[in-house]
Amino acid sequence: MPRILARIGEALAVLLIAYTLAFFLLSALPSDGVMARYADPALGLSKEEVEGIRSQMGLDKPVWAQYVASLRGFLTGNLGYSVRTGTPVAELITDALPHTLALAASAVGLAIVLALLVAYAATLPGMGAVGAFFRALPSFLVSLPGFWVAILLLQFFSFRLGWVNVIDPGPLEGLVLPTLTLVVPMAAPLTQVLIRSIDEVKGQPFVQVLRARGAGEPRIFWRNVLRNATLPALTMAGLLFGELISGAVVTETVFGRTGLGSLVVTAVSNRDTPVLLGVVVLAAVAYVVINLVVDLLYRVFDVRLRRKARS
């Protein structure tokens, strides 16, 4: 329990630092959303009217006063309002988050399955050239740009074959190509870490004992080796899941999909700082929570940590 409380305290400190850095970096931008939205001569607003809008939103105050007011709102769940639409930022994120979570969950699940299958084929004894191919495959996949994979999948499966409809698709159909796009950059590093970890575990004496007792390679892999090789891959999977927000920006833009990625693109083009700050905070929360969960799961998979905790 003391360790868990210490980890929670560290997580809260990381969130505060991330929020502070994001706020001051966004505040240092040469322009803001009010000027980009209301200073257009086509709107016919005078300089005094634009300054009144800035004053109403608190942007005429010193930066430190804006930070204190923003932090107070963040602690109470008030992330401010969008400069472009006037909608609460929390409402915009709440509407966009389920779409990105569905994409993230499907991509992570498929990437884990693919990484396990490729790692198994790459480390299975006696595979020869086939095993060498699977060992080299992750290095090739990790070098592929995400936007290029998205365009290639779109061109081949949608425009050429017509298997997947990208114009007003259904909920499940709309997940197919974006999921495949994210699976490639996720599965590749996960497979690399898993292969190295499996090779190390297979060199342990207990594996030789199991072979001497007549256990087959599939049973040794799935029941003994994989459990001991999971920890490094578990850490990598947590980090990759946290990176899905940045990956979703490209994927959701290419496929015209609603989510946090498209929300970020719109906010950047309109210099909508409150929305950007809200998404950055959400990404920081995702990283912190995932790392905390991974740290707690280590005690589930590693018997040595459980024994140390009991002692």
Q: For 236-248, what is each residue's pLDDT tens digit?
A: 777 777 677 656 7
Asked whether residue 80 is domain-assigned, the answer is: no
| DSSP code of residue 43 | G
- State which of 27, 45, 75 marks the end of a domain: 75
Tokens of 221: 């892999």
Asked whether residue 248 is domain-assigned, the answer is: yes
Convert the pLDDT of each residue in 68-95 to its tens digit: 888 888 888 778 788 777 788 888 888 8
- State which of 14, 40, 75 marks the end of a domain: 75
User: How much is the average pLDDT of 51-76?
Assistant: 77
Q: Hey, what's the torsion of the CAs at 226, 228, 230, 231, to 10 degrees?
A: 180
Domain that holds residue 56: 2-75
**Do residues 225 and 93 both lie within one domain?**
yes
- Are 300 and 67 in contact by the 8 Å Cβ rule? The answer is no
Asked whether residue 84 is domain-assigned, the answer is: no
**Do residues 53 and 157 both lie within one domain?**
no
Q: What's the domain count of the chain?
A: 2
Of the pLDDT bands very low, low, confident and very high (cuts 50, 70, 90), residue 41 is low
Residue 245 has a pLDDT of 62
- Are 178 and 251 in contact by the 8 Å Cβ rule? The answer is yes
- Are 192 and 139 in contact by the 8 Å Cβ rule? The answer is yes
Asked whether residue 179 is domain-assigned, the answer is: yes
**Do residues 69 and 94 both lie within one domain?**
no
Residue 134 has a pLDDT of 85
Q: Would you give the end-to-end CA distance of the chain in angstroms?
A: 14
